[in-house]
A = this chain, B = another copy of it.
């Protein structure tokens, strides 16, 4: 053994935090621990690059990460914002071994990287973990369906309202939040141009729906916002 139990206590803690890791035996946790790397990314750094070979399962211990798909002409769509406790399984793991999206740090981020081999092994050994993984996948897929509807049927105001609600409910879990996402990021999350996002944010601000102070947001009229999101 190259690792002692003591040396890895920190990592043991970090493994335990993730959703779906609860079905793992000591032995399986050790498989992860043996393969893991603790890596810290600075704000702005790319963690996963679309098109590159995928080599790791990325677990986020602290910080926030945007998961985005790069399209034509340098444009991209942000699919999801990840927070501590989330992990990223690249959808190429059992397929073409390539990443089909990118992930970038939007704050400084502490991660625990687990090798694909270790992941594969545990996936095969523990059917309950396999179920967790599939479930995790399905939830991501539901996010994607939701995004599809958003993009194709809602107009800008609805999508921006959705973004604010998403950040408030799912990501920062508070009616008031400070985000490190830039306006461009928020635009990518809503699939509108940066300028349009700004204009709509101003509208919301002028009509007293939200308070905006730079990157500090406060949702004042939750109902109105939810209604805008619903109607489109």
Contacts and interface: CB of A to CB of B under 8 A. Distances in A.
A137 B144 contact: no
Residue among A69, A135, A147, A148 having the largest count of chain B Cβ atoms under 10 Å: A148
Contact of A141 (B124, B140, B147, B231): B140
Contacts of A172: none
Contact of A134 (B100, B130, B145, B231): B130
A33 to B, nearest CB: 22
Interface stretch (A8-16, A91-99, A207-215): A91-99
A94 B127 contact: no
A91 B93 CA distance: 19
A101 interface: yes
A100 B148 CA distance: 12
Interface string A151-180: 111100000000000000000000000000
A191 B95 contact: no
Contact of A149 (B71, B141, B231): B71
A131 B135 CA distance: 13
Given A73-B153, A77-B152, A152-B77, A145 B100 contact: yes
A142 interface: yes
Contacts of A73: 153, 232
Interface in A64-78: 69, 71-73, 75, 77
